[in-house]
Structure 1
């Protein structure tokens, strides 16, 4: 049986269409809907092209890098392979979905978010008499722009050095690059949560042993967590981002040694506190620090681009210095939805 994917002409220009990714361009030329009920159902347009050129990128039977360059058309698929492998690394152990309320795609480098900072009186849903005006909640643009940052790594790998390497092995290196890029984005997110996004909106900070948080500086107890939790009203502290040393102290708390909590941690690798907050550990946070969030309202992620690769160099086998980048930034939404607790000296 003949399929249309066998006749798609692949060329560099497919990476250069404004507003469309390479896969989206392929899907336009070879729609996946046409393969429903066939053995190829479930594959996207890029995966069908891999099948067309018999390129195996995973498993013990994976091909070598040189297989992509068997023809001029199959070489066009190589940048997409790089991009997907890097994205996979970015998505592994990715904490950003757990701390962002919304993701906005934006084509540019400077972004202006919105803000709504109602007073206590404006939060009330009052009875409105007939003919009376309805109370207002104002939504306005932020005064200062949110800057997007380009984060990336330079792939330095002469073609002759990798041409006979298995794709499955090469993917491991690419996933590690993705993990490094995502770590940079997480550091940007933490910086905005703590210091603000340039609109005079840093997080409110508390210190153990200083009112209203009880306890002794340098040590974290369950009572201190309860005091911190109490500062979030009317928001809900449903996420705790903690440093490694704080995580160790929390895991030793009697209240977190509930058998059901331990069973869930052993079975899924995730840990919820008795306060109902998801506990996330990261070395991107400085020692002795916790960030409490209502992830539904605290942070907006602005994506200027997905993973970008220098496709011209990759297709032409010029891997000596090929950049892999991703552009994103972060904006504060509702400032009281994120707070910082420090253990102190």
Structure 2
């Protein structure tokens, strides 16, 4: 298929409410559904747009051909270009049909922006139902080892187990109470900022629940292993020795992030650390060398992210390997009733929300220090 034929294919797509119903039935977002109809990969490796963006371009071409104004999503003040007003989406039935997905895309982009939630979540999973059971690995250290197996002996097994209880799904988001008439003259970039701010607050709510799963588990008897100060060789306060012991507890995983409240992080950050690298000091004492330096074979003392969470549990520091700790599930599928109201401009509020839940991926990739 030629590039010209592919581009004409994008122009043949007619946007309407039925597409939202079909995408929801398939468990897809509208953007994913458009990608199925008009795959970006067919345009070659140098293509800079996605299916949604190409639909906006085709839509603007049709608006211009009909003597109407194109929809401009972002202002460029230095060039004297200003974002369109909300009412620009309501020039035709087709332009109105793409407005709900513009709202959804703006909200989704805000959800994956840098914030506390994304510092916690290791993997995201889309689902098409309101119930989800996580799948995790279960094994003992003995069974997990790839040790030599005697002749005729059974090879140790690591099981992939479906969790006994479904994880709790919640709807996060906000309602923007405003009629079409009230905001139709607002510029789209201003509405975009409003949606981003709303989803940022929703992200804080999500982060609190992700933290709960990180510490207490997802309801399947998989709370994180907790160590008291005495377990780490300390007495009244966390020391560098206790901290080093804690890091070793993660092996064969590694701690990539540490999360806590303000008091807990201040205590951690003010630990008296050795003035000399302990490993280098051992080398000097054993061999009398001053220029050589020992290196850990395993990545136990690696770099890690320090995360401040205002709602973190008092007197706890939580370390975890982000890659393997928490799975975030998101229910795919728009609320067709709300979408229909938005397309017809018969709305008194815009609901920006997403249904999420948090499950434990690998239980052993999390550790807690109880500071008191």
Deviations 1:252-283 (A, max 9, x none): 5675999xxxxxxxxxxxxxx96522222222
Counterpart CA distance in 1 for 2:222 and 2:193 is 40
Check whether the contact 2:139–2:157 (CA below 8 A) recurs between aligned residues: no
- 1:10 maps to 15
What is the TM-score normalised by the length of structure 1? 0.81
CA distance in 1, matches of 2:258, 2:249: 14
Give the structure 2 partner of residue 265 of structure 1: none
Structure 1 runs not aligned, ≥5 long: 259-272
SS of 1:116's equivalent?
strand
Bigger radius of gyration among the two: 2
Contact 2:167 2:219 in 1 (8 A): yes
Deviating more after overlay: 296-305 vs 82-91: 296-305
Once the 2 structures are TM-superposed, how far is the Cα of residue 101 of structure 1 from its aligned partner?
3.8
TM-score normalised to structure 2 length: 0.76
Partner of 2:93, secondary structure, is coil
Instruction: Determine the C-alpha separation between the residues in 2 that align with 1:312 and 1:293.
Output: 43
Residues in 1 aligned to 2:51 and 2:346: alpha-carbon distance in whole angstroms: 26
- Contact 1:113–1:141, Cα closer than 8 Å, also in 2: yes
* Residues 92-129 of structure 1: per-residue CA shift (max 9 Å, x gap): 22344443343332222222223433223223323223
**Deviations 1:205-229 (CA, angstroms, capped at 9, x unpaired):** 3345x44252535xx5544432432
Give CA-to-partner distance per residue, 1:155-208, whole Å, 9 cap, x none. Answer: 212212211111111110001122122222222211111111111222223345
CA distance in 1, matches of 2:367, 2:151: 41
Distance 1:110 1:21, change over 3 A: closer
Q: 2:236 aligns with which of 207, 213, 216?
A: 216
Looking at structure 1, the residues matched to 318 and 310 of structure 2 have their Cα atoms a distance apart, in angstroms, of 13
1:315 to 343, 347, 370: 343
- Single out whichever of 311-320 and 68-77 deviates more from structure 2: 311-320
Q: CA deviation at 1:43?
A: 1.7
Kept in 1, the 8 Å contact 2:112–2:118? The answer is no
Q: Indicate the RMSD between aligned Cα atoms, in angstroms.
A: 3.1
State the partner residue of 2:71: 55
- 1:336 match: 364
Distance 1:56 1:190, change over 3 A: same
Q: Which residue of 1 aligns with 2:65?
A: none
Of 23, 32, 54, the match for 2:31: 23
Q: Which residue of 2 aligns with 1:150?
A: 171
Whether the 8 Å contact between 1:313 and 1:322 is mirrored in structure 2 is no
Out of 320-329 and 246-255, give the one that drifted further: 246-255
DSSP-derived class of the 1:301 partner: strand
Range 117-126 or range 248-257, more displaced: 248-257
Residues 4-13 or 68-77, more deviating: 4-13
Shift of 1:137: 2.7
Contact persistence 2:239–2:272 (CA under 8 A): no
| CA deviation map 1:21-73 (0-9, x unaligned) | 222333344444565599xx412222223233221111242111111111111
**1:302, 1:37 → 2: CA distance?**
30
Structure 1 residues 160-239: aligned runs within 5 Å:
160-208=181-229, 210-212=230-232, 214=234, 216-217=236-237, 221-239=239-257
Pair 1:46 & 2:52 matched: yes
- In structure 2, the gaps of 5 or more residues are 61-69, 77-81, 277-299
State the Cα distance separating 1:13 from its structure 2 match: 0.9
Relative to structure 1, the CA distance from residue 229 to residue 128 in structure 2 (aligned partners, 3 Å threshold; closer, same or farther) is: closer
